[in-house]
Amino acid sequence: MPLPSYTLGVMEASAYAPEVFARGLPSSPRLRQQSEDTGEPINSVAGVASPLLSLQGIGLSFGGVVALADIDLSVLSGEIRAIIGPNGAGKSSLINVISGVYRPDRGHVRLDGISYAQVPTQRLAHLGVARTFQNLALFKGLSVLDNVASGLAYKVRSNFAGQVLGIGRSRGEQRDSRSRAEQILEFLDLSSVRDHLAGTLPYGLQKRVELARALVAEPRLLLLDEPMAGMTAGEKSEMAAFVRAARDRFATTVVLIEHDVGVVMGLSDRIAVLDYGRKIADATPDEVRNDQRVIDAYLGVASDNEDGAGI
Ligand SMILES: Nc1ncnc2c1ncn2[C@@H]1O[C@H](COP(=O)(O)OP(=O)(O)OP(=O)(O)O)[C@@H](O)[C@H]1O
Ligand SMILES: [Mg+2]
């Protein structure tokens, strides 16, 4: 019996709140290394051969609950990197640290050679990072196309008057966003529902629309928190194929949380396993599958609950 998921709805949805898009974001910020203590920039050296993403010594507690303890993680460019573990192991917390929703108590997130005490979540898209949420965070009353186009709103630079009057650069930008959104919808086989209200779609399709919104900006790093949760076996296979195709087409690096062990083993290049906030294994799918500690902490239980879905 899985534990209830921790609901982060308010905080997570706020990252996609319409007012954030409408306000726009600073263009091309030169992001620099931050001091852990002050959050002020310190010197930065881009590491040419370093991983796209690495976490060093990440610790995070909520009151007495240790969500993450001394986590190191390295994600190489172009790989599909899975994070697995039992309910409450700290997987979503880790994604929330990587995406700047949480500031860790200890440690650093190093993204593309630049180290952060807290990743600037409001500039995530500019950093080339996109994410989906364990609990769907779509604009249910907007069309699928508008939801997906909203993934590009951070790029809109038109001024307020232009937006109100619908003239000049803003109209061109809107056209451009919609045409890119249409391309992604086609890529993910969603064109036939482009004008449907997102909230009226079956759950599995809503999850795919969320993937489309994350992908539309062609992020370098895509964070997926249980993209296949609640799907049928067929939908999971389809989603896994789309994730792989997205990696191949956009050269996107993927960090994926997923409970379906069959999907994870087939899709991932490397798997990190969390248990009670600690990393207990980090290896290839074959090595993880045969790791006794992982079997005891998770795989034995997970395979009991497995619904037989694979890819
Ligand atoms: N905002 C928060 N406030 C208080 N406790 C939190 C918060 N976020 C996470 N936690 C706690 O931190 C621990 C790790 O939670 P997290 O959501 O990261 O686990 P998870 O591995 O994603 O679990 P699941 O598989 O159920 O989604 C849990 O004990 C959870 O209750
Ligand atoms: Mg979670």
Residue 47 C-alpha to ligand 2 middle, in angstroms? 31
pLDDT of residue 153: 83
**Residues 289, 227: Cα–Cα separation, whole Å:** 21
Q: Please report where in the chains the tokens 């759950």 appear, as a residue.
A: 203
**Protein residue closest via CA to atom 28 of ligand 1:** 88
Share of the chain above pLDDT 90, in %: 68
* 180 pLDDT more than 80: yes
Which residue has tokens 């992982």? 294
- Distance CA(270)–CA(291), nearest Å, equals 14
Q: What are phi and psi of 278, to 5 degrees?
A: -110, 150
pLDDT digit string, tens, across residues 55-95: 999 999 999 999 999 999 999 999 999 999 999 999 999 99
User: What is the pLDDT, as a whole number, of residue 156?
Assistant: 67
Contact 22, 33 (CB under 8 A): no
Taking every pair of C-alpha atoms in the chain, what is the biggest distance, in angstroms? Answer: 63
Specify the pLDDT at position 137. Answer: 86
Identify the band that residue 173 occupies on the pLDDT scale cut at 50, 70 and 90: confident
Residue owning tokens 């969320």: 210
CB 277 within 8 A of CB 69: yes
Answer whether 55's CB lies under 8 Å from 71's CB. yes
Collapse the DSSP code of 185 into the 3-class scheme (helix H, G, I; strand E, B; otherwise coil) and give the result.
helix
Measured in degrees and rounded to the nearest 5, phi and psi for residue 114 equal -115, 130
Which helix (H) or strand (E) segment is 172 a member of?
helix 169-187
| Site to substitute for ligand 1 among 3, 5, 58, 93, most atoms within 8 A of C-beta | 93
The pTM of this model reads 0.81
Distance of CA 283 to the CA centre of its chain: 21
* Interstrand relation of 114-116 and 80-84 (parallel, antiparallel or unpaired): unpaired
pLDDT tens-digit profile of 111-166? Answer: 998 999 999 999 999 999 999 999 888 999 999 999 999 999 887 655 555 555 55
Q: Probe ligand 1: pick from 11, 62, 259, max atoms within 8 Å of CB?
A: 62
Where residue 172 falls among pLDDT bands split at 50, 70, 90? Answer: confident
End-to-end CA distance of the chain: 24
Integer Rg of the chain from CA: 19
Side chain identity, residue 70: D
Residue of 250, 243, 223, 19 whose CA lies nearest to 125 = 223
Tell me how far the alpha carbon of residue 8 lies from the centroid of ligand 2, in angstroms. Answer: 9
Given pLDDT bands bounded at 50, 70 and 90, which one contains residue 49? very low
What is residue 227's predicted lDDT score, i.e. its pLDDT? 95
**What confidence score (pLDDT) does residue 39 get?**
38
Give all domains of the chain, ordered by start, each with its CATH number: 9-39+76-103+119-305 (3.40.50.300)
Q: At what angle do helices 203-215 and 169-187 cross, to 10 degrees?
A: 130
Give the residue, by CA position, lying nearest to ligand 1 atom 3. Answer: 62
CA 184 to CA 250: how far, in whole Å? 11
Q: Nearest bound ligand to CA 298?
A: 1
Look-up of token digits 């508008």: 146
Helix, strand, coil abundance in the chain, percent, nearest 5 = 40, 20, 40
Lowest mean pLDDT, pick from 46-50, 71-75, 279-283: 46-50
